[in-house]
Structures are given as C-alpha cells and as structure tokens.
Structure 1
C-alpha cells in the first residue's frame, strides 16, 4: 500500500516534459501541503487546532472538494514521512511560485505554527529554513510572523 502511495506521489510531484497545467498545479499543491504537514510534525505533537487550520488553509488556498483535500493531506503526510529534506518541496516552490506566493506560503506556515497558541522554537526554525530555501527575505519572514501574531491577538 505504501509503495502505491509513494508511486502516485512521485508521479504527481516530479514533472515530465508533457506535463499539463493541471498536473503542475497538483504538484504544487502537494508540495505546499507537504511543507505544511512537515511543520505540523516539527514539535512532535499535532494538535487538533493545527489540523483544523491545515484543512482551512488548504481549502481556502486551493479550493478543493473535501475528498480531494483529504487525499492531498494523506499524500502530503506520507511524503513528509519519507522526505529526506525540505529541498524536495522547496525546489518546486522556487520553480513555480512568484515572490508574493512564496511570502503567502510563509504566512500560512506561521498560521499553522501559531494555531495551537504555542510557537515552538523548532517550528520557528523550520519556517526560517523554508524561507531561506525559497528566498523569502528576512524582513518578509519577520513581517509575516508579526502580522499573524497580531491577527491572532485581535481574534482572541
């Protein structure tokens, strides 16, 4: 079963010369979701609030039906577990996202990290490393962190 999932994920994550626009979008969604799931695992405790926030972000960002959303989450979880480094995902982001989309991804990572009201130092390190790998400036890294923090403060 895991081999089948892995084959499907690899066929979705890695491009071919005949790749359609829909295939490219799917690969980017999977890479983004995998980065988000990787962040959830960072503090070794996945809180229900974090899982809910992940689904909310993926629903809003990708406008997927519930069945596809669940499939992407399961595939992202499987790929995240098998990934050796963040490079597998960030290379796709670098290849296809413009700068504003990269900043938005960092914002989503901050939203996930803060969803359980406990910003773990390892979560912050992972977001910093991701920002570095996708060439988001330090000032935008900090601005998105503060914006998410301030938005959460006004919600509570």
Structure 2
C-alpha cells in the first residue's frame, strides 16, 4: 500500500534525452513536412531534401536515402509536430535551429513557388523551436535569394 501511495505522489520521471540519430530523424521529418504539406512532393523538393540532408549531416548516399525514407514514414504516421520539435529542442543549439528553419525555407522555394501551407508549417515549427521572428524572416529572405 505504501508503494502504491509513493507512486501516486512521486513526480513522473522525465523522458530520456534524445539520441543524435533521433535528432537527425526529427530534423528530416520537419523538412519532409514542408515538402509534403501542399500534397505535391515535387522532384525539385526531393532533390533539395537529399542535398540538405547530405550537407547538414555529412552522411553517405545510402544513409541519406535511408534517413529520407524513415522521415517520410515518420511524417506520414505523426499525429503532431510536438514529438519531433521536442527532440530538436533537446539536441539542437539556437544556431542549428535557425539553420533548420533556413533549410525548411529552401525546401519550400525548391519548386519555384511558395505555398501558403508551406509558409504556415515553417512558421509553426519556428514557434515550437523558439526561433525569433527576426531570425525566421532572415532565413526566409536568405532562402528566397538563393532560389
């Protein structure tokens, strides 16, 4: 009985800290989310995604292909962004979060047009990652100028 009462009144243990692999997957899911949100996963977006994953994580081609496939599956099965953004908040520095937002903008501009849903999801992720509005806008302009 005492053990039962202890369990009721003791605070729950925190979730374990995410691994580097989980952080890579969470970031890849955010990138896939941008590409898929307008229901048109264009070839140009897929190419941009592969290039960003290769550059960002310095992975071999087969590792990038596997990460992309895992990210697509995780994105399709996700019920919300919160699980993935929690992992990113645990593992990424502020600079890495800003870079991720810039990468999301790159995906959004990869097909030559910015969809309102793409902009919405980037804004939402930016808020969940505590990226300032000025950094959000700076990343947008940087990606637009590179497109």
TM-score bracket, shorter-length normalisation: 0.7 to 0.9
Query: In angstroms, what is the RMSD of aligned CA positions?
Result: 1.3
Paired with 1:149 and 1:102, the residues of 2 have a C-alpha distance of 18
Paired with 2:29 and 2:95, the residues of 1 have a C-alpha distance of 19
| Bigger proportion of residues as helix | 1
Paired with 1:103 and 1:16, the residues of 2 have a C-alpha distance of 24
Per-residue deviation, 1:151: 2.2
The alignment of Structure 1 onto Structure 2 pairs a total of residues equal to 133
Of residues 109, 130, 133, the one that matches 2:125 is 130
Q: What stretches of structure 1 move > 3 A for 4+ residues in a row?
A: none
Where relative contact order (Cα < 8 A, 6+ residues apart) is larger, the structure is 2
Gaps of 5+ in 2: 1-14
Partner of 2:65: 70
CA displacement 1:28-85 (0-9 Å, x = unmatched)? 1111011111111111001100000000000000111111111111111111000001
Paired with 2:108 and 2:28, the residues of 1 have a C-alpha distance of 14
Q: TM-score, normalised by structure 2?
A: 0.87
List aligned pairs for 1:1-156, cutoff 5 A.
16=16, 24-152=19-147
Preserved contact between residue 29 and residue 74 of structure 2 (Cα < 8 Å): yes
Preserved contact between residue 31 and residue 104 of structure 2 (Cα < 8 Å): yes
